[in-house]
Amino acid sequence: MRTIIYIDGFNLYFRLLEKRPAFKWLNVKVLAGKLLKLANKVVGVRYYTAHVSGRIDPTAPGRQQIYLDALKTV
């Protein structure tokens, strides 16, 4: 069965990644493939998030963009 994974980026970050920085470079497509049944073939990953503000931390938008660019490679 062809499967597309949908990810809420803010929930992923604030529930998992904020306190576990080692997981920030997690390949969500590989993870989903391991969690799903063998009948499921992951054919795509859709990552949704809002752009962060640089008001409090001026470096945050740049760091977020690096992360989003990295996600595009997988």
- Backbone region of residue 70 per phi and psi (left: phi > 0; alpha: psi in -120 to 50; beta: other values): alpha
Q: For 21-68, what is each residue's pLDDT tens digit?
A: 888 788 888 888 899 999 999 998 999 999 999 999 999 999 999 988
pLDDT of residue 71: 83
Residue 19 binned pLDDT confidence (cut-offs 50, 70, 90): confident
pLDDT of residue 65: 94
Spell out the residues 6+ positions from residue 40 whose beta carbon is closer than 8 angstroms to its own: 1, 3, 33
pLDDT of residue 69: 92
Q: Is 42 helix (H, G, I), strand (E, B) or coil?
A: strand
pLDDT of residue 49: 93
70 pLDDT exceeds 90? Answer: no
Q: Where are the domains of the chain?
A: 2-72
